[in-house]
């Protein structure tokens, strides 16, 4: 990948820079399965699985993920239920983050170092309201010019992924057009957002969604680790 062709780089956070997607997955699993075990109304109450996460939740704003999953099971999703379940999940995530902390993927730090040396401005674009806390816990807050979190999206009334608006806003903050910017995403919904925004490159990071799904969603390149995007002499030389 020729980084000199671009003026800005936009990172998703969970699953791209930090392995917090695993924490999110665990929190979603515990919350949804507790709900399904107690639910005696209409709909499918079979256990929630990782396949449900990738199909209905991954990369989306939290309440959208709740609503889409419940709808997929034929379970009524009034706003009060959506908010209650979404807040339960967020509490579980924050408890794990506070207890265990988080370290960035080594390959992601390698790419961040390389892009810093090139002088490219960087942004985080995350559906999570917890993005600033995760970056702080990982010691990476100073690497990014701006963080467009779920809270920022709500404040600015920007629709979440798979809409491209949060990525487009981040590129604008970095004084770059979409065609001059790179999106790095591990979620199908995030890759779809990058493709919908007509960004110069949309890199799918395969942390479990699968290269076929990421490519079908619009990834122009799929890698298994961000170290793959660092020139060889910068890596394991």
Q: Which residues are catalytic?
A: 12, 14
Tell me the C-alpha distance between 104 and 72, whole Å. 33
* Cα 90 to Cα 45, 51, 136, distances in angstroms: 22, 20, 17
CA 96 distance to own-chain centroid: 18
CA 146 to chain centre: 15
The partner residues of 123 in beta bridges, in order of sequence, read: 10, 146
Cβ neighbours of 5 (radius 10 Å): 11
DSSP string, 82-134: HHHHHHHHHHHHHHHHHHH-----HHHHHHHHHHHHHT--EEEE-S-TTHHHH
């Amino acid at each position: 990948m020729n980084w000199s062709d671009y003026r800005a780089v936009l990172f998703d956070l969970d699953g791209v820079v930090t392995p917090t997607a695993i924490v999110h997955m665990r929190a979603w699993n515990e919350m949804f399965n507790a709900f399904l075990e107690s639910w005696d109304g209409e709909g499918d109450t079979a256990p929630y699985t990782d396949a449900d996460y990738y199909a209905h939740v991954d990369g989306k704003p939290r309440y959208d993920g709740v609503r889409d999953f419940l709808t997929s099971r034929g379970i009524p999703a009034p706003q009060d239920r959506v908010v209650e379940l979404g807040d339960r999940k967020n509490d579980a995530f924050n408890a794990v983050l506070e207890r265990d902390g988080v370290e960035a993927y080594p390959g992601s730090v390698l790419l961040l170092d390389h892009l810093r040396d090139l002088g490219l401005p960087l942004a985080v674009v995350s559906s999570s309201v917890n993005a600033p806390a995760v970056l702080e816990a990982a010691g990476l807050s100073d690497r990014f010019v701006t963080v467009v979190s779920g809270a920022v999206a709500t404040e600015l009334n920007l629709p979440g992924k798979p809409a491209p608006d949060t990525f487009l806003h981040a590129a604008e903050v970095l004084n770059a057009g979409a065609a001059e910017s790179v999106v790095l995403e591990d979620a199908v919904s995030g890759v779809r957002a990058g493709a919908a925004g007509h960004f110069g490159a949309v890199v799918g990071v395969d942390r479990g969604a699968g290269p076929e799904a990421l490519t079908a969603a619009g990834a122009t390149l799929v890698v298994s680790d961000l170290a793959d995007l660092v020139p060889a002499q910068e890596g394991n030389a």
